[in-house]
Amino acid sequence: MLLHIPKVLGSDQVRQFRQAMDSAEWVDGLATSGIQSAMVKKNWQLPEGVPLTRQLGDVVLDALGKSPRFIAAALPLKVYPPAFNRYAEGQTYGTHIDNAVRILRGTDFRVRGDLSATLFLSEPDDYDGGELVVQDTYGEHRVKLPAGDLVLYPASSEHCVTPVTRGVRVASFFWIQSMVRDEGARRMLFDLDTAIQGLVPAVGNDDPNVVRLTGVYHNLLRRWAEC
């Protein structure tokens, strides 16, 4: 399932991010890739672990914590510190699958990537190309969202970023370990949660069927969650 989560960051926040990032020093994106993906990757990244990357990453994590839709869809257990990339004209990231496990350098913090996320920080009109293309069992999905919007997709998917042919594409990207590892189970929980939230305005929180369905949601989560 691909999920679009609008306005994770507001326009003021995006502007502040861009001011800070536009004057930052960028390094070759190969710094964080595995062997196969290194062969197809051509972009810039903010260096890992420096104060600016951490500070911006913390703002992203804080915004995710305030997004009910993100929490309902990802059921996050751990999030790898957000990274930031920049594709200038001619840059691209060919087809690859993200690494299964990320270990934060110099620590024992590790995250199994169940979900991948891209948070767009450039407006779609500011560049041509630079689409995130994700393959799933239903085919190919091309994603290019307004600045501040996020897309979540299964980390097991093949994906690429098409070459930027004009302008600059800036984004944040990161991986999430979910409490519910199985994608199908996670999807059913999200659908059930969304359906309950849809019923509440019509029948109220204390409707016995809403209470029972909410109980089913939590009992399924209890059955499937690893925390």
Q: Residues in the site for Ni ion, rule: CB under 5 A?
A: 98
User: Which is closer to Ni ion, CB of 127 or CB of 175?
Assistant: 175
Minimum CB–partner distance for residue 155 and Ni ion (Å): 8
User: Which is closer to Ni ion, CB of 69 or CB of 96?
Assistant: 96
Compute CA 143 distance to the chain's CA centroid, rounded to the nearest angstrom: 12
User: Which is closer to Ni ion, CB of 98 or CB of 131?
Assistant: 98
**Cβ-closest position to Ni ion:** 98
CB-based contact 56:23 (threshold 8 Å): no
Minimum CB–partner distance for residue 205 and Ni ion (Å): 40
Output the 3-class SS for the chain.
CCEEECCCCCHHHHHHHHHHHHCCCCEEHHHHCCHHHHCCEECEECCCCCHHHHHHHHHHHHHHHCCHHHHHHHCEEEECCCEEEEECCCCEEEEECCCCEEECCCCCCEEECCEEEEEECCCHHHEEECCEEEEECCEEEEECCCCCCEEEEECCCCEEECCEEEECEEEEEEEEEECCCCHHHHHHHHHHHHHHHHHHHHHCCCCHHHHHHHHHHHHHHHHHCCC
User: Which is closer to Ni ion, CB of 98 or CB of 193?
Assistant: 98
User: Which is closer to Ni ion, CB of 161 or CB of 189?
Assistant: 161
Minimum CB–partner distance for residue 159 and Ni ion (Å): 6
User: Which is closer to Ni ion, CB of 171 or CB of 189?
Assistant: 171
Minimum CB–partner distance for residue 97 and Ni ion (Å): 7
